[in-house]
Amino acid sequence: MQKINLSKNLIILVTLISLICFAGCASTPKRLDTEKEMMADTGELTSDELEKSAKSLAEKIIEYFKSHPHEEGVFVALLPTKNDTSEQIPTKVFDNTLVNELRKGDVFTILTETRSQSLQEIEFSMTGLTEKPLSIGEMKSPNYFVKTDITESMFKHKGDKIIEQVINIELVKVTTSIAVWGDKVKYRKQAASSGGVGW
């Protein structure tokens, strides 16, 4: 009788261990191909779409400055992209890609949000505690602001839920505050029927 109970306990133990291993294997994340373009069920912009948009818009900005050259060079202040949608969009992906692509076309970005830190470092270098003082006269001012926002609208088309998100970008001349150039990239997607947008 004791041997039967021991066998039963052993079978139960092996079964439990097998179930735990199976559950662990089933929940293990699967590596996906990062080159394959994916679309979010909820309709929000993916990192791939943000990068692609930033590259396309950067090319157009570079073309604008080629036809409107500046002898002193082109320096733009990139205002952080404003997300006016209901989704969590990684706008930093767009901003970082835009900066990198603009640099390739000799359009340099001035990060105005780091200006106070730069001034502190210059001030510190003038105390004599550093090897060589930094020159405050090297700091650049932007010729243009780059202003970007992402807007969203939702509607139904033939019974399907559609989400449309638009990346709007403008070049604003600093001296006049006039928007001298603008463009947009539009994404329109059908929201998933389950687990997607709740409307």
Check residue 120 and give its pLDDT: 78
* Mean pLDDT score across all residues of the chain: 80
Q: b or e along 56-81 (b: 16 or more beta carbons within 10 Å of the residue's beta carbon)?
A: ebbeebbebbeeeeeeeebbbbbbeb
**Domain 45-190 is in which class?**
alpha beta
Task: Indicate yes or no: pTM above 0.95.
Answer: no
**Interval 52-62: pLDDT, tens:** 999 999 999 99
Residue 199 has pLDDT above 50, yes or no: no
| H or E stretch covering 156 | strand 144-157
* 114-161 per-position pLDDT tens digit: 767 777 777 777 777 777 777 766 777 889 999 999 999 988 888 888
